[in-house]
Amino acid sequence: MLTIKNLHAEVEGKKILKGINLEINKGEMHAIMGPNGSGKSSLASVLAGRDSYTVTEGEVWFNGKNLLEMAPEERAREGVFLAFQYPVEIPGVSNLNFLKTALNEIRAYKGLPALEAREFLKLTKEKQQLVDFHSNLMNRSLNEGFSGGEKKRNEIFQLAMLNPQLAILDETDSGLDIDALRIVSNGVNKLRDAEKAFVIITHYQRLLEYIIPDFVHVLYDGRIIRTGTKELALELEERGYDWLKEELHLKESV
Amino acid sequence: MTSDMILPFYQALTEDVNALSAQVPSLAPDTLHDIRREALDRFTALGLPTLKTEAWRYTNIQRYLKEFPYELLTTATPVAAEAIDKAAIPELDCYRIVLVNGHLQADQSALPVGKGITVGAMSAHTDAPGFVTYFNKQHHLVNESLATLNTALFADGLYIELAANTVIDKPVHIVNVYTCERHAFIQPRHLWVLNKNTTATIIESSVHPETTAVAFANSVLETVIAENAELWHYNVQQGEESFREVHTTAAQQHNNSRYHHFNFTLPNTPFTRNNLTVALNGSHTETNLNGLYIANKSQHVDNHTFMDHIKPDCHSNELYKGVLLDNANGVFTGRILVHQEAQKTNAFQQNNNLLLGSKADINSQPQLEIYADDVKCSHGFTAGQFSEESMFYLRSRGIGEDAAKALMVNAFSHDITEAVKVPALQHYLQVQIAEIMNN
Ligand SMILES: Nc1ncnc2c1ncn2[C@@H]1O[C@H](COP(=O)(O)OP(=O)(O)O)[C@@H](O)[C@H]1O
Ligand SMILES: [Mg+2]
């Protein structure tokens, strides 16, 4: 579904991604871990099309289409979704109106008619329950005055509403207490199916206790330096990242 | 009388304005005649504003007056119902009053009726108590040359007076229709007097039916909000290519009165200047001035506001927001004068702008003059583009760039539209804004 080949990217003249290779297939759950500042959010941003990043080398293919040539909204309509690490607040844009606009633009792209008010409401109710997203937040301005946890839940709620094929979750677990973490994880697990794929970016092993990954990648200094299974996450939890960094430096000095 | 016997309008303005007064029907009574005579002299003394006139530094009014060979037009021709309906606000349950070039069209209007309500042509009410007491008494009008021109040469307008303790049960929608066969300079003159303990909601809008002739309106409205009265006043400036406007509102408030003014300037009219002055002649008043201007092409929109805090314990709050597209040019002036007597004044002012056109531009100037020591005043100004972060967030959800911009403009104008207390009008404005942004 998604193929990333030798991806290099920079922001404000600073090299951030330095040759990422990654293959993601339908039905898979990938976790990306790594110390702060290693480039995880940057990778997510480049995939979603944030234009402050410049891709200097490499390719990204999504279902056979060149993702890097698409505008951010086209990527979303093709089925790529990014749950932001820091969702923005947009005063004056109601959550409901925003979602309706987004959903209908995606539907129009797929040649589907706009949802009728009643159907939209029904869908909204159903997905709200999935992540226990309080309905009084629906009529408020987008993320305005939401707590950290509410913002993250809103991201997953949007994910459920828009139903993309590939979802990238950037540190969705940070800012969530243990109950919220469980609710959000359950929501994500219910959305899993054979046609979809997930990329979970996280710092901590604890999320991966609820959402079991098929692959765990370690991103460090703009490269994936190790790929393993869920046991790798446990090992990282115990030993930290230093041993990996040392191995890397040893390899490089050879 | 053939037209080549008359001096071209602009030339008459600058050389022999007296010649113009011969073209204007005289209004009874004699006292009015004197007021007009005085105004004409005043206009001659002041002359037309130039870029050196402090209040006109960013608007070259003479350029607009010379743009077309205008003629002074003091009459009206009948207008078809469809043209008037262009100004209709869907679902608005209201009394609709139609004025053509300032002349009341009673047969096309649904005038509010009831005890204590007087609504009619200015020309028919020059002896009404409210007229005698209040007409042209505001000194702000005497110092503004275009207002003196209106006083001297207006033909007609709308007179509204509410006797004490009267409430109009529905909004009054005044549709100002401007029509002309040749380029015309038209000067309506209105006076609304809200006596003690009265409440009214009045919506003004204007239409200039599709025509090749350009109408330039120089209208003046005086409103009096007496003790404990409340006026909700909305002015909707619907954009028309062949229309130009100088719109002057002079309000005076008395003890415990409340005035809520909303001004909406929508795209396409090349030139709009709004003069708004509020004189606080009483204490414990509340004033809310809200403005939203959305301008496109090479539109020039100038909002010139003056809060005159004369008496103590008054509260004023001013919020003007602008969305400037293409190479539109905005001007905002917010003058606040707090007299020595006006202790415990609260006066706040804010002007925020979205500069979306590559050549769009705003000149914003707060002018605070404070002579009292126990006051709270503030002002602020912003001009910027959409936040990149917000745009990316919306687009990352599949929302196209244009739709995202429309959402953002709606959000930007939200605090103004939200304050509109007439639901049908609020909805109408939101739809207009969305349509503007989607085109
Ligand atoms: N807009 C920017 N300008 C300059 N440097 C940036 C910008 N955004 C991110 N960076 C840098 O890129 C590196 C990777 O950041 P990020 O992708 O956020 O890492 P992670 O998500 O793994 O913590 C960091 O060194 C960060 O400082
Ligand atoms: Mg990050």
Query: pLDDT tens, A64-95?
Result: 999 999 999 999 999 999 999 999 999 889 89
- pLDDT confidence of B4, banded at 50, 70, 90? very low
Q: Which residues have CB under 6 Å of ligand 1?
A: A 11-12, 14, 16, 34, 36-42, 52
Per the structure, the complete domain to which residue B53 belongs is given by 4-282
CB atoms B398 and A88 under 8 Å: no
pLDDT of amino acid B2:
41
**Relative to the CA of A171, which ligand 1 atom is closest?**
21
> pLDDT tens-digit profile of B134-148?
999 988 898 899 999
SS3 for B393?
helix
Give the pLDDT mean for B275-302. Answer: 98
> pLDDT tens-digit profile of A193-241?
999 999 999 988 888 989 999 999 999 999 999 999 999 988 888 888 8
CB atoms B399 and A73 under 8 Å: yes
For residues B275 and B410, membership in a common domain is answered with: no
pLDDT for residue A176 is more than 90: no
Count of structural domains within chain B: 2
CB atoms B395 and A97 under 8 Å: no
**Which residue of A lies nearest to B413 if distances are taken between CA atoms?**
A92
Chain B residues within 8 A of A52 when measuring between CB atoms: 388
CA distance A127 to chain B (A): 16
Torsion of CA B69, B70, B72, B75, to 10 degrees: 120
Selected for mutation to probe chain B from A52, A105, A170 (highest B CB count within 10 Å) is A105
Question: Are the C-beta atoms of B334 and B320 separated by less than 8 Å?
Answer: yes
Q: For residue B324, is it within any domain? A: no
Give the residue among A137, A147, A45, A49 at the shortest CA–CA distance from A99.
Answer: A137
CB atoms within 10 A of CB A186: 15
Give the pLDDT mean for B57-72. Answer: 94
Cα Rg for chain A, rounded, in angstroms?
18
Q: For residue B313, is it within any domain? A: no
Chain B residues within 8 A of A82 when measuring between CB atoms: 396
Q: For residue B132, is it within any domain? A: yes
- Mutate which of A14, A18, A33, A173 for ligand 1 pocket (most atoms within 8 A of beta carbon): A14
- pLDDT confidence of B3, banded at 50, 70, 90? very low
Per the prediction, chain B carries an average pLDDT of 94
> pLDDT tens-digit profile of A86-145?
999 998 898 999 999 999 999 999 999 999 999 999 999 999 988 888 888 888 999 999
pLDDT of amino acid B348:
98
> pLDDT tens-digit profile of B334-386?
999 999 999 999 999 999 999 999 999 999 999 999 999 999 999 999 999 98
The token pair at B10 is 């602009």
The token pair at B108 is 């096309």
Residue at which a domain ends, from B216, B250, B282 = B282
- pLDDT confidence of A171, banded at 50, 70, 90? very high
SS3 for A227?
strand
All domains in chain A, ordered by first residue: 2-253 (3.40.50.300)
**What is d(CA B266, CA B281) in angstroms, rounded to the nearest whole number?**
32
**What is d(CA B195, CA A135) in angstroms, rounded to the nearest whole number?**
47
pLDDT for residue A3 is more than 60: yes
> pLDDT tens-digit profile of B99-136?
999 999 999 999 998 999 999 999 999 999 999 999 99
- pLDDT confidence of A254, banded at 50, 70, 90? low
Q: Does an H or E element contain A41, and which? A: helix A40-48
Question: Are the C-beta atoms of B349 and B315 separated by less than 8 Å?
Answer: no
Please count the CA atoms within 13 angstroms of the CA of A38 that sit on its side-chain side.
20
Q: For residue B11, is it within any domain? A: yes
Q: For residue B167, is it within any domain? A: yes
Residue at which a domain ends, from B251, B282, B313 = B282
Comparing CB atoms, the residue among A52, A92, A105 nearest residue B399 is A105
pLDDT for residue B7 is more than 70: no
Instruction: Give the ligand with the smallest distance to the CA of A39.
Output: 1
**Which residue of B lies nearest to A44 if distances are taken between CA atoms?**
B396
CB atoms A105 and B398 under 8 Å: yes
Selected for mutation to probe chain B from A12, A41, A93 (highest B CB count within 10 Å) is A93
Q: Length of chain B in residues, anyone?
A: 439
Gap from CA of A174 to ligand 2 centroid (Å): 10
CA distance A239 to chain B (A): 36
State what percent of residues in chain A have pLDDT above 90: 74
**What is d(CA A104, CA B109) in angstroms, rounded to the nearest whole number?**
42
Q: For residue B353, is it within any domain? A: no
> pLDDT tens-digit profile of B21-32?
888 877 777 778
Q: For residue B388, is it within any domain? A: no
SS3 for B220?
strand
**What is d(CA B103, CA B27) in angstroms, rounded to the nearest whole number?**
14
SS3 for B31?
helix
> pLDDT tens-digit profile of B221-269?
999 999 999 999 999 998 889 999 999 999 999 999 999 999 999 999 9
Per the prediction, chain A carries an average pLDDT of 92
Q: For residue B340, is it within any domain? A: no
Residue at which a domain ends, from B262, B282, B302 = B282
